[in-house]
Amino acid sequence: MNSALIIASLPIALGVVMLGLGLSLTMDDFRRVGRHPRAAVVALLCQLVVLPVICFGLVLAFRLPPELAVGMMVLAASPGGPTANLYSHLFGGNVALNISLTAINSGLVVVTLPIVVNLSAGYFLPDSATLGLQFDKVLQVFLIVVVPVAVGMLLRTRAPEVAQRLNRPVRALSVVVLVVVIGAVLYGERANLAGYFVAVGLAVLAFNIVSLLIGYAVPRLAGVDRRAAIAAGFEIGIHNTAFTITVALSPALLNNAEMAIPGAVYGIVMFFTAAAFGWLVTRRRAQKSVPGAPTPVELG
């Protein structure tokens, strides 16, 4: 990535995405977790514990180069993205649960991301003395993730009319930001793009599919209702790739273009796999509701 302007604007772009999330949140979204704890706890455990472990195993199985391996781990540690809310709405998931999980994960990432990044960097790049997220870098993650969310929530509480007017254009801008960020990464690394896709494409696809299935199957096995399980599947399978890419590219954070590649590839793949996943669970539910239709095999 040679464009200093793009790199410098990444934290601002991510701030716009997180502001859009904040405009859709209220404190009741957090209280809802207390009223329905099982679905939230199971989904959070999958997101924070199971995914990084599985991603680490996939990275080893596919024998990824060290920088791409760390980039995959950054992806695994990233919170769910606002796009998960849209998919959940389209395919009958519990959108309120999505919003709650996205909000909580976006706050917890300030703690969980440094742990995952530092451990993975220490394992895959042991000779890199400067790579990692120490306190000053964690503070910057806090400023570009949590603060915009808090500002958006404050606007919605204190100036609901302003928040309502801003909500739709900021959401649209968030989608534009995601597309531009992914496009900029791919364009900046175009000379090595074919090699990167060969190296990381299958690993990203496998991780994406496993994330969606685990996000749905584990909650179902834990007795969570179908709508909440669909929401968890999208929340765990759709990551905030703008966040992943910002962490990888920002000079104040990891400052490594190669580590941004898994996030950029994932940001493309997840739209198609999430749609296929949504179609599958919706089709199974529709078949189950048709009198005389054969009973489908439950996922998980």
> Could you tell me the two tokens for 246?
């910002």
Given a contact cutoff of 8 angstroms between Cβ atoms, the answer to whether 81 and 240 are in contact is yes
Given a contact cutoff of 8 angstroms between Cβ atoms, the answer to whether 56 and 119 are in contact is no
Q: Given the structure tokens 């302003």, which residue do they identify? A: 162
Q: Would residue 298 count as lying in a domain? A: no
Given a contact cutoff of 8 angstroms between Cβ atoms, the answer to whether 79 and 243 are in contact is yes
Q: Would residue 297 count as lying in a domain? A: no
Q: Examine the pLDDT at 291 and tell me if it is beyond 80.
A: no
Q: What is the pLDDT of residue 295?
A: 44
CATH number of the CATH domain containing 93: 1.20.1530.20
> Could you tell me the two tokens for 52?
């990084």
Alpha-carbon distances, residue 298 vs 273, 278, 287 (angstroms): 19, 14, 11
Max mean pLDDT among 122-131, 144-153, 227-236, 288-297 falls in 227-236
Q: Would residue 286 count as lying in a domain? A: no
Segment 71-99 mean pLDDT: 85
Segment 82-88 mean pLDDT: 81
Q: Would residue 217 count as lying in a domain? A: yes
Q: Pick from 230, 253, 246: which is nearest to 84 by CA?
A: 230
Confidence band of 29 (pLDDT split at 50, 70, 90) = low
CB atoms under 10 Å from CB of 283, counted, come to: 11
Q: Examine the pLDDT at 59 and tell me if it is beyond 90.
A: yes
DSSP 8-state class, residue 83 = H
Average pLDDT in the chain? 80
Q: Would residue 176 count as lying in a domain? A: yes
What is the residue range of 204's domain?
Answer: 7-281
Cα separation, 25 vs 12, in Å, equals: 20
Q: What is the pLDDT of residue 134?
A: 60
Specify the higher pLDDT residue, 113 or 252: 113
Reduced to 3 states, what is the DSSP secondary structure of residue 151? helix
Domains contained in the chain, number = 1
Q: Examine the pLDDT at 300 and tell me if it is beyond 50.
A: no
Confidence band of 234 (pLDDT split at 50, 70, 90) = very high
Cα separation, 148 vs 142, in Å, equals: 9
Given a contact cutoff of 8 angstroms between Cβ atoms, the answer to whether 87 and 234 are in contact is yes
Q: Would residue 293 count as lying in a domain? A: no
Q: Pick from 176, 297, 182, 157: which is nearest to 244 by CA?
A: 182
Segment 261-283 mean pLDDT: 89
Alpha-carbon distances, residue 287 vs 71, 105, 223, 284 (angstroms): 40, 34, 21, 5
**% of the chain exceeding 90 in pLDDT:** 27
Q: What is the pLDDT of residue 297?
A: 39
Q: Would residue 45 count as lying in a domain? A: yes
Q: Examine the pLDDT at 207 and tell me if it is beyond 70.
A: yes
Q: What is the pLDDT of residue 222?
A: 92
E strand intervals along 143-271: none
Confidence band of 82 (pLDDT split at 50, 70, 90) = confident
Q: Pick from 69, 56, 71, 118: which is nearest to 259 by CA?
A: 71
Q: Would residue 2 count as lying in a domain? A: no
